[in-house]
Amino acid sequence: MSVARFPAEYDDRESKKAKRIASPVLGFSNEDKVGTIQPHDDALVVTFRIGGYDVKRVLVDQGSAVEVMYPDLYKGLNLKLEDLTAYDSLLVSFEGKTVTPRGQIRLPIQTSSDVVDAYSPYTAIVARSWLHVLGAVSFILHQKVKYSSEGQVKEVIGDQTMAR
């Protein structure tokens, strides 16, 4: 069983150490694989509710340092250019090309997403920062993201069919 503990609060004033607050242990076991196709090498692709809409084909990428929203999703959410704030860092696309994001936006899922004009099989990518803010643990083998909310362990289950 893989286990990770995440304290619910941090206090920078107290020597940057995490406060100890009781929260459920987030872990995975073989029972979490029930309902998945095994063995596999599928990406963890989920459906999220973003800006009041169900958004399919969202890649959960622990290796990415930035969240990305692609133009189709940006347009589908009826966002306008004036909704974006400046973002001047360059990104590298899946094809290895340098891409300049059009800007940055914060949406109700409480993560910032950069709007990138590049091809992707996904509508958005959530990255390490989203996992950290949520205090979540993702496990691609089990096709799940787990996080603690209101004293309970909640799950987001991947969609292998959509990933393929």
pLDDT tens for the chain, 164 residues: list them.
344 443 444 344 444 555 555 677 888 889 999 999 899 988 888 888 887 788 888 888 888 878 888 888 888 889 888 889 998 888 887 778 888 888 888 876 533 455 556 667 778 888 888 888 888 888 888 898 888 888 888 888 888 888 87
Return the ∠ at Cα 150 (arms to 149 and 151), rounded to 5°.
90
Contact 139, 60 (CB under 8 A): no
CA distance 98 to 55: 26
Contact 44, 150 (CB under 8 A): no
The domain in which residue 55 lies consists of 2-163
The H-or-E segment that residue 28 falls in is: strand 26-28
Q: How many domains does the chain have?
A: 1
Contact 11, 27 (CB under 8 A): no
- CATH number of the structural domain spanning residue 98: 2.40.70.10
